[in-house]
Every structure is written in structure tokens, then in C-alpha cells.
Amino acid sequence: MNISKLFLIGCLGILSIDAWSQCNTDYQLSWSDEFELTEVDTDKWVPQQGGGGFGNQELEYYQSQNATVSGGLLHIKIANETVVDGSTTYNYTSAKLQTASKADFLYGKMEARIKMPDALGAWPAFWMLGSNIGDVGWPHCGEIDIMEWVARGPDAATGSIFYDGIWPNNHLSTPYNIPQGQSFITDFHTFAVEWEPNEIRYYCDGNQYATYKNSSIPVEWVFNHEFYIILNCAIGGTGGGNTINIVDPKYMEVDYVRVYTLPTTADSIIVSGPKSLMENSQNVLYTTTYFPNTTYDWLLPDGATITDGLGTNAIHVNFTAAGGKVKVTAANSCATLSDSISLNVLADTCTIMYDNFDDTINVTYQATGTLTGQFANPLQDNINSSAYVGQYERSSAETYDVLGVYDIALENALEYENSSRVFFMDMLTSAPIGTQITLQLENSALNAGAYPQGRRSAYIGHVSQQNEWHTVRFNFSQIISTNTLPDQVDHVALLFDPGHLTGDVYYIDNFRRLRASSDCASLTTAITESEKNSFSIYPNPSNGQVNLNLPEDGQLQVFNFAGALVMTQKINAGSSLINLNNYPSGVYTLVFNGQHASYAPVKLVKE
């Protein structure tokens, strides 16, 4: 069925096609409806309601009561009856069933045994749409028409695919002309496709009559992802035609719908899941590639237990304090494959080192800029004598440059929001004093959308020394979105100089978490003790009035959370009063530029 909507957005495949191969075994039944109940099985089908032409000028109004089950058959009734929906009057009714939200399918043999209605203008179909249609629209989701038939012209059923482009230049169609003496109206016939990566083969009554391959079309092959099944009988429109002859109710009848799959294997499989965790982490998800008719055996570190998903490709695990291998073995009649990852389980000690770029690396990275690990330390001193550090070159094309830190062991975000856990990082850069670095706790699955979606909380650090090693402390700033729960955080995002297009280079080292408790040493501040000519501010937090004690005459700049300059003021040595009443609550950076330069953060809390 042709749906005339165009949203040309990229589809996501869910399996690496290059890694796919098939072995020569028989198809095995994996899903079916034999229509043996006394009504439509709503655990398998969703009846559709409504009309509107569906982009094809169709005349029918779909309603659930037109789909009934009896005698082992599904009966889709088409009738000449009036339905008023809003301001629109429909003169014909029919039914449409689909498996969307109930069952999605990826590859296999889809088959149905169907008898057509004896009614001029009827347009029955057995077809499939890409399950991602809600995200990418038609036709980029793909459409596989296993069978379309119209009660006019030659007695032929048609098999089609629809792909990117504008009708009529976005499809391939092939008719199957029934042998002389047979009829689609008086007898049941079996329609099927064998759907594999990059190829779809069409059959009627076991006779192959069409093959479509990715090389058959001039654009992207949009059929290597999940689809759902649809059964319906349209009336009129671009398929049924302008001549309608439905006096008494007529029926499209379906004996069964069956989905078969082949045991399949790949050259390799990959385990996906965290590589670093805090001890006693609960309900942690690990997954690997799904294949039908395959058993999955998981091997876990000592004491770890599977809470659900045993024997499947996706498990949730409760861990203890033991690290080790997370390994899966997938076996079917084609092959046995395995993969594993090494898991570090970290204890809640006073200091957790995430990455020292030498011998301790408990994280992985994704960056908009360029990160070089184990870069020779350009300035070994008493603050950082490491042989190797990380070199990060900020992308000057990004207003909000991000260095994502993944596979990181994190406690509940509440521990950081109440400052009982604090992030630190050693830094060397030529970026100006006061340059802001924002750290955000985020959830990978939730932040696919625009800010603030998926972001939990933000922490602010600043450059306090230029061209010298110093320690940056990330102080809690704000809760960004309460829709991301404290226990949903799975990675850290570092934003260097947010809100600006700068290309500064930052040397970073010893990214770590410190715990504030009576049995741990006190937490150091972001401003080093050796810093000269620093200025004092009070009260901090402030409700709007900030007192400064400055060492000399100069200029004061105030930057907000996003790094934007909100105030510039000349100021004299000694005590001064700054009014921030016109600005909203948040963390601000006060940068003083005189003969010497220094900065200090202030938290503004408005009543």
C-alpha cells in the first residue's frame, strides 16, 4: 500500500550486515496466527480505526467490528454502509489489522493463505512497514508489499517494495498472473516473501516470480531493519479504481499468517555493557547480538547473579565486589560464537582514579575535539610529574565542545549533588584564567534529544593558572533535569569553554573522584595555595550582594553558567560591593584583570 508521506531522515539498522551469513537449514516457525479463536487475537493484532484516504484517495472507513474470526478464518468485511467521522462522511467500511507494538520482525519467510473478495473496487493487501516509521516517516522506513490485488483488469497479484524518492519513481513492482482456470476469488492462494539482508524474494503458491536486491535500486536499501505486518482491504483510490460495485457485504478471508526464521550466525558477536562499575552495582544491563533459534550462555564474575534474561541475548546482573570477565556464548545449528569484556569493579574508597593516562585507565572516551592519550607531559613539575598525560584539542567549530567519558564507575548522582563525592582533574593550558569547564552527569539512552533531555546535573570548574599545572575542582552547580533520575547516570560529559568557538589545547591528567568523609583527607579547592593576588568574596553563596576584597585596581568580569559574559565593571583596590540582583540563581565566575589576573566562583541563590 502506497503511503504518500515523505520524511527523508536516516534509518538505523540494528545488525551489522557485513557480519551476517546464513546456513542451509529449514525455516522454523517463529510466529503465527491460525485464527482458531472466536475473535481477533489482540495479543497479536491491533485493529485500526478511521479513514482519510491514506494518501491514496481510498474511500473506506476502518473499524474493528469489520474483522471477525470464525471457522478457523479471519474475515475482513467490506460493506456499503455510512459512517460519519467529524465533518467527513464515508460510504464504505472495512478493517485493517497490524502487528505494530505487538510484534516486529527482522528477516525470514512471511506467508499468508488468502482468498479475495468478489467486489469491484476492492483492494486487499498483505504487507509490511518499517517499525521506525514514527521516527523517520514514509518512505524512508521502507515498505514491503507481499501481496496486493485489485478486482479489475487481469487476475494478477503484485509484489512490491517502496524506498526513498517521490512516487512513482520510488518502487519496484512485479505482477504474478494466476494460471488459466484458477482464481484468486474462488480459491485460497498462498503469498510469501523470503526476506534476507539486501534481498527479498516473492512467491505465490510456491512459485518464485520476483527478486529484489540492494543492487536493484539506485538509492539506499531501507529494508535491513525491523518491520511489522499489516492485513487490510482498501476500497477504491489509486489501487481499487474509480468504479465501485459493493452491494452486499463481501469478505477478504485469511486462513493463516505465519512467520518463519532461519537459524543464523555471524562472523563474530560483541558484548555491550559497562566495563567499570562500583561494587555491589545492581540491575546492570548487558546485551549481545540477537539471532533466532539461538541459546545464550553467560559467564559472570564471582558472586554475580542474573536477575532476568537468563538464556537470552539481554540480561540484567547484580554484582558483588568481584571483577572479571563478562562472557557470552551463542549457539545454534549453524555455529557457536563467543565474546567477552573485562569488568573492573571499583570500591568506594577515598579516591577513585578514572584515568591517569599512565597505568590506570578505567574509562573510554568520545569527543567532538581531538583527544590523544599517553601524550608526553610538556611540563613536569611538583604538581604533576607524570611521564604521560592526555592532550585534548578543543574543536573550534563547536560552540559546545564535548569530551564524553564512558564506561565510568559512578555512584548515585545524589552523592555528587550533595558534595559528598567531588570530581577533580589536573590541567595545563594556555586558555585564559577563568575559562570555564562544565562537567555534566548524563544518561546515554535518554539524551538523544536536545538539551536538557537526559542530562541530570552540572558541576563547574575553571582554569586558575595559565601555562602551569593546577588542580580543577568541579563544584555542584544545578540540577538540569529531574526527568533523569539520580540512579540513571551512566557517563560524564566535559564541556570545555562552553558557549564559545575556541580551539585551545588542554593537557589533562589524574581525572578522579574524591570522597568527603571523616576517614578521608580534606578535599582541596580548585584554586591552588600558591596562587598570588587572589581576591576574596563573601558571602558565598549570596542572595545578590557580593562583597569583594581586591589587591589592586583593575577590571571585573562576571560570567554565567553557560560561560557568557554578563557584566564588566572597573573596580578599585580594597573592598567593593557588586550587585547581582538582576541575575537568576546559579554559579557565576568573577574574573579580575589588573596587573595580575585571578578568579573566584560565587553561587547566587535568589529567594
Catalytic residues: 143, 148
In angstroms, the CA 236 to CA 126 distance is 17
What's the grid cell of residue 442?
548524563
What's the grid cell of residue 532?
598570588
Q: 424: closest CA among 490, 503, 522?
A: 522
In angstroms, the CA 117 to CA 14 distance is 38
What's the grid cell of residue 344?
573492573
In angstroms, the CA 479 to CA 461 distance is 16
> What is the b/e burial string over 26-41, where b = at least 16 CB atoms within 10 angstroms of the residue's CB?
eeeebbebebeeeebe
In angstroms, the CA 352 to CA 422 distance is 10
- Residue 134 in 3-state DSSP? helix
**DSSP state letters, 383-405:** S---SEEEEEE--TT-TT-EEEE
Cα–Cα distances in Å, from 515 out to 347, 356, 457, 488?
12, 18, 18, 20
Amino acid (1-letter code) at residue 433? I
β-bridge partners, 210: 202
Alpha helices, DSSP H, located in 195-337: 237-240
